[in-house]
Amino acid sequence: MEILMIITVGVLVSVSTYLLLTKSLLRVVLGIVLLSHAAHLLLLTMAGLKEGAPPLLGEPAEAYADPLPQALILTAIVIGFGVTAFLLVLSYRTYKEHKTDDLDQLRGSADE
Amino acid sequence: MNNLVLLPVLVPFIVGVILIFFRNQLQVQRFVSGVTSFFLVFLSIYLIYNIYQDGIITLELGSWQAPYGIVLVGDLFASIMIVFASIVAVACLFFAFQTLHPDREKYYFYPFYFFLLTGVNGSFLTGDIFNLFVFFEVMLISSFVLIVMGGKKYQLRESFKYVVISTFGSMFFIIAVALLYSVTGTLNFADLADKISQIPAEESGILTVIAILFLIVFGLKGALVPLHFWLPNSYFVPPTAVAALLGGLLTKVGVYSIMRTYTLVFTHNQDFTLNIVLILAGLTMFFGVLGAVSKFDFKRILAIHIVSQVGYMIMGLGIGTSLAIAGSIYIIGHNMIVKTALFLFCGTTEKVTGTTNLKKMSGLLKTHPYLGWLFFAAAISLAGIPPMSGFFSKFALVLAGLEEQRYFIVFVSLVVGLLTLFSMIKIFMYVFWGSPSLTPEEVKKTKIGKLLLPGIPLVIISFLMGVLAEPLFILLEAAANQMLDPSIYINSVLKE
């Protein structure tokens, strides 16, 4: 199962790298979204995937799953969600103001 | 256990939330934020006094015991950073009162100002690496809003790049945390330090990889060469009050995180990691100052100078003796103060002349002598001329470098100091010498007396830091010794 997850992470990272290197604003945003998914999956996988054990503390159970990665991912997903929403609005405004979504045409020095 | 250590995080957060409700009452917003910023300075000084008296203060949030719950840890290094950050925040806030357009103020400038401070203070105080990530994000998203506020064409363009690059760095932060968690099974700084010291040397290769990954993550935030490329434009586009705040605070949080993790957590293979840090320090200071030498724009020179100063900050870490670390802390504080002062004077000049292009202005010394001499004092402080604070920071670093026989980095740092002086004098000559470019009517139109007020205390602090360098270094060396002996930190958090 871990192997499958790692391969998924690898595919996500490579796709997001491709998207980040394209010239369209929206594709760059999608690249960031996919990269964040990859990072979250990696966080889940690196902590070890266990089956059939609840995350209990203080119960006389034989095995229990580590609840910490889930908590971390939840936090990271929420943060990623917020940043993505901000980034989408920002790219929309940039598109509206500049009348283009081509990053090549958004080059240039900062003083207009 | 002491709730005092939570206050620098909690106070700006609550005030920020309250200010959201007063969106249209600008006077209320200004009054509350002004009072709060002064309160934060006194609070941070009280905090540093307590820590100096009683040692490291820790707080286990929700009373969850140390390795399981989140802890806030106030040691000397963190509290010194908070003092400087609060001072910078006051100066920028009072500059913002006078320069910001009311439309910007109404669009939640002050709430985000305080959320940024929440993130910065939280990053300094946290004792948990994932919590550090969270506070980084709090700080970053506030900085996104502050940079883009106003929505000018060039602002949107540059902030998009800044946001993408920062978010990219944050994702690497998560990846690095995931790898670290898989190796050690903990995220608490003290527990990490404890666990990593027990890992045998032949199995520590993966830890070195993780350490470098964290260096990349924090280097991206702290603008180390070759990860500095986003900085000059992003800090150029926002209004000066915001640029001064971001230039004063944000990169230093990255540097702080590097110093914290490399002295506390990743101590297993220091020959290798600290050498990398030292090489990056040399490259950073050299290329940063070259960028400054080549530019002819007031604000842009100051922005790219941040990069070269970051090099000095991690140079102390790379040398690694107690004097060098003390010098590093000193230069972080010095740079926060002086860089902010320079940005504020740059903003004043922009207000007077309407431009930041060096070639379009001259002769301001005749029409605005106070501005000229205040800028000169701050500029020679940055370049490292006694009796201002810049001299003593470089003196400590160079002395420590010579003691450790790191001659090459010392040589680079001295050359960079010379080039810094050159670029500062370039600004001074273009802006303040020559025949006045403004007509007397134009001079009378803009009153700058009030605009200079926030900068004056910063110049005075820089001067005092230089004059009182010796007692200050006693405090800084205490902080450095606390950092160089991780067992103090570990014991006060885990209470073994």
Q: Is the CB of A79 less than 8 angstroms away from the CB of B134?
A: yes
The answer to whether B355 touches B428, Cβ cutoff 8 Å, is no
Band (pLDDT 50/70/90 cuts) for residue B1 is low
* A74-94 per-position pLDDT tens digit: 999 999 999 999 999 999 999
User: pLDDT at residue B379 above 70?
Assistant: yes
Considering chain B, what is the average pLDDT of its residues? 91
Tokens of B118: 């929440």
Cα gap B341→B345, rounded to integer Å: 6
CB distance from A20 to chain B under 8 Å?
Answer: yes
CB distance from A100 to chain B under 8 Å?
Answer: no
What phi, psi does B71 have (nearest 5°)?
-115, 150
* B318-356 per-position pLDDT tens digit: 998 999 999 999 999 999 999 999 999 999 998 888 888
Alpha-carbon gap: B145 to the closest alpha carbon of chain A (Å): 9
The structure tokens 């007077």 sit at B352
Q: Which residues of B touch A72 (CB under 8 A)?
A: 130, 177, 181, 187
Give residues 50 to 79 of A whose Cβ lies within 8 Å of B. Answer: 68-69, 72, 75-76, 79
Q: Is the CB of A87 less than 8 angstroms away from the CB of B167?
A: yes
- Chain A residue nearest residue B69, CA to CA: A68
Domain extent listing, chain B: 2-494
CB distance from A24 to chain B under 8 Å?
Answer: no
Q: How many C-beta atoms lie closer than 10 Å to residue B220's C-beta? A: 20
Question: Which of B160, B213, B358, B360 should we substitute to test contact with A (largest number of A Cβ atoms within 10 Å)?
Answer: B160
Band (pLDDT 50/70/90 cuts) for residue B385 is confident
- Chain A residue nearest residue B237, CA to CA: A110
Q: Which residues of B touch A22 (CB under 8 A)?
A: none
The answer to whether B16 touches B65, Cβ cutoff 8 Å, is no
- Chain B residue nearest residue A104, CA to CA: B157
What CA–CA distances, in Å, run from B142 to A86, B54, B58, B178?
11, 34, 27, 25
Band (pLDDT 50/70/90 cuts) for residue A46 is confident
The answer to whether B124 touches B253, Cβ cutoff 8 Å, is yes
Question: Could you say which of A32, A39, A46 has the minimum Cβ distance to residue B181?
Answer: A46
According to the model, what pLDDT value does residue B78 have? 94
Band (pLDDT 50/70/90 cuts) for residue B496 is low
Alpha-carbon gap: B144 to the closest alpha carbon of chain A (Å): 9
According to the model, what pLDDT value does residue A15 have? 97
Q: Which residues of A touch B168 (CB under 8 A)?
A: 20, 32, 35
According to the model, what pLDDT value does residue B96 have? 92
- Reported ipTM: the value is 0.93
Give DSSP secondary structure letters for B393-420.
HHHHHHHHHHHTT-HHHHHHHHHHHHHH
* B284-322 per-position pLDDT tens digit: 999 999 999 988 889 999 999 999 999 999 999 999 899
CB distance from A34 to chain B under 8 Å?
Answer: no
Residues 6+ apart with CB under 8 A from B483: B75, B77, B259, B260, B263, B264, B325, B489
Alpha-carbon gap: B140 to the closest alpha carbon of chain A (Å): 10
According to the model, what pLDDT value does residue A108 have? 64
User: pLDDT at residue A112 above 50?
Assistant: no
CA max distance for chain B:
74
- Would you call B128 helix, strand, or coil by DSSP? strand
User: pLDDT at residue B163 above 50?
Assistant: yes
- Chain B residue nearest residue A34, CA to CA: B171
Alpha-carbon gap: B320 to the closest alpha carbon of chain A (Å): 32
Question: Which of B161, B167, B192 should we substitute to test contact with A (largest number of A Cβ atoms within 10 Å)?
Answer: B167
Q: Is the CB of B164 less than 8 angstroms away from the CB of A28?
A: yes
CB distance from A89 to chain B under 8 Å?
Answer: no
Among B294, B295, B325, residue whose Cα is nearest residue B312: B325
Residues 6+ apart with CB under 8 A from A64: A53, A54, A55, A56, A57
Question: Could you say which of B157, B178, B236 has the minimum Cβ distance to residue A46?
Answer: B178
CA angle B229, B233, B238 (to 5 degrees): 140
Percentage of residues in chain B having pLDDT higher than 70 = 100
pTM check: above 0.90: yes
